[in-house]
Amino acid sequence: MKIPAGVKVEQQGQLVKLSSSSASLTLDVHPRIKVTHDTGSSEILVTRSTDQRQDRALHGTTRALIANMVEGLTKGFARKLEIYGTGYGVKEQGKTLVINVGFAAPVTVTIPEGVKVDISAPNARGNDVPAAFTVSGADKAVVGQFASEIRRSRPPEPYLGKGIRYADEVIKRKVGKAFGSGG
């Protein structure tokens, strides 16, 4: 795979380190997979020793992880989240994210190193206008894990849709109990 300009590659044995002006990412490659960096053509080549099933799986996984590292260093990764519910909201205080989602005390989540939180709408207004924020960073796994931890603090409920959800997530809504005349 081609390495774009601005991304520096260092390799020490099975440890591959990619860095740019904004971030640095490392990957410890499995011993059955060989990664070589061709400086002349600015490419990283991933090869396997045998054609066994495990080696093929490791080959594809390693190639995908390196491709994600390159994309994270050049473009970055982001997950947009929304908070629905009256009185719900989010704010950033130093290295922590304070989330008000209907509990007696606000939920505080520590922001990991290399992750940036951009709050576009700090407070939700009812169940129609959500509080919105974006979690972004260079490491795809860290961004996804942090967004998942935030969502886990109050997942959306199926009746009113209140809670924290991804911006592109569709919630299957349930119909509440129907009140009929007793007989």
CATH of the domain at 13: 3.90.930.12
177 vs 96: which has the higher pLDDT: 96
* pLDDT (tens digit per residue) in 112-127: 999 999 999 999 998 8
Q: Does 59 reside within a domain? A: yes
Question: Do 111 and 149 fall within a single domain?
Answer: yes
Question: Do 27 and 65 fall within a single domain?
Answer: yes
Q: How many contiguous H segments (helices) and E segments (strands) does the chain have? A: 2, 12
Identify the domain containing residue 33 by its residue range.
8-74
* pLDDT (tens digit per residue) in 113-172: 999 999 999 999 988 899 999 999 999 999 999 999 999 999 999 998 899 999 999 999
Q: Does 175 reside within a domain? A: no
Question: Do 17 and 98 fall within a single domain?
Answer: no
Q: Does 177 reside within a domain? A: no
Q: Does 173 reside within a domain? A: no
Q: DSSP state, 93?
A: E
Where a domain ends, among 47, 74, 101?
74
What is the pLDDT, as a whole number, of residue 180? 63
**What is the Cα–Cα distance from 102 to 172, expressed in whole angstroms?**
21
Question: Do 59 and 87 fall within a single domain?
Answer: no
Where a domain ends, among 29, 47, 74?
74
Q: Does 150 reside within a domain? A: yes
133 vs 22: which has the higher pLDDT: 133
Q: What angle do CA 57, 59, 60 make, to 5 degrees?
A: 70
- On the question of pLDDT at 102 being above 80, the answer is yes
What is the pLDDT, as a whole number, of residue 181? 62
Question: Do 89 and 63 fall within a single domain?
Answer: no
Confidence of residue 183 (pLDDT cuts 50, 70, 90): low
**What is the Cα–Cα distance from 151 to 140, expressed in whole angstroms?**
17
- On the question of pLDDT at 179 being above 80, the answer is no
Mean predicted lDDT score pLDDT of the chain: 92
Q: How many domains does the chain have?
A: 2
Question: Do 105 and 160 fall within a single domain?
Answer: yes
Lookup: tokens for 13:
């044995």
Q: Does 181 reside within a domain? A: no
